Chain A
Amino acid sequence: MTVKELAKQFEYEILCVPDPDREVEGGYTGDLLSWVMGRLESGNAWVTIMSNINVIAVAALADPACIILSEQVTPDEGVLERAEVQGINLLRTSKSSFDVCAELASIS
């Protein structure tokens, strides 16, 4: 399933999707960036409530298919612009991280 299809199926808000046709392969959730950095795999959907700009740096290095900001968190200033420049897909939802992971598991 692509990022664009994922957002449509589960009604995730699209904040920034420079690569809508990227395939999603599994998921990971976590908010401690170093922990995530060591375990997030290329192609994963990464579910997090962290909304600062370092999230984009972690994604730029670990290469997830997309970031899903859960719990309706608001990205800090400059996050969307950095995501666009780095080619990082960024989605958002009011659902909890648990519920998003359940949805990701249902399509894996």
Chain B
Amino acid sequence: MTEHVNFHFEIDGENFTSAGEASVRIKKNLREMGFSPEIIRRVSVAMYEGEINMVIHANGGTADVDIYCDRIEIVLSDRGPGISNIELAMQEGYSTAPENVRSLGFGAGMGLPNMKRYTDDMKIESKVGEGTTISMTVWV
């Protein structure tokens, strides 16, 4: 692969039925490109968690995945309420998900920690009332 490939997704807010479709699509693309199962797993899990967060908290958003020969970059952007305390949000088990979301099996407070665990680099930029952008890199 000499040039990078970009995939752009619009994440539909408040739609738990289609949540995860972008992640599954990326998983298939990476598999077709010949990436290792471990890299594919890390990227797709991190992205899925981001997708779910955008559905739960931000009424959707966008996901951009840039695939290079030596790394995969994922940028998730939303115009949701923002994260007031990022340090707290990064703690395992901390969640502000509403009860109806928890009944679906989400809201365990593992979303952001999983994203950090499965990527090599993760940066959160968030402004309360404006939105959140999360950039992640997985080195191949």
Which A residues are within 8 Å of any B CB, using their own CB?
31-35, 37-38, 42, 50, 52-55, 57-58, 60-63, 78, 86
**A38 in contact with B45 given A57-B23, A61-B24, A61-B27 (CB within 8 Å):** yes
B20 A52 Cβ-Cβ under 8 A: no
Query: Which residues on B sit within 8 Å (CB–CB) of A50?
Result: 104-105
Q: Please measure, in the bound complex, the distance between the C-alpha atom of A34 and the C-alpha atom of B16, giving whole angstroms.
A: 14
* CB of B54 to closest CB in A, whole Å: 14
Hey, which bits of chain B sit against chain A, CB under 8 A? 16-17, 19-21, 23-24, 27, 37, 41, 44-45, 48-49, 52, 104-106, 108-111, 114, 117-118
State whether B17 touches A34 (Cβ < 8 A): no
Some 26 contacts from A to B, beta carbons below 8 A apart, are A33-B52, A33-B105, A33-B106, A34-B49, A34-B106, A34-B110, A35-B108, A37-B48, A38-B114, A38-B117, A50-B105, A52-B16, A53-B16, A53-B17, A54-B104, A57-B21, A57-B48, A58-B48, A60-B27, A61-B27, A61-B45, A61-B48, A62-B41, A63-B37, A78-B17, A86-B24
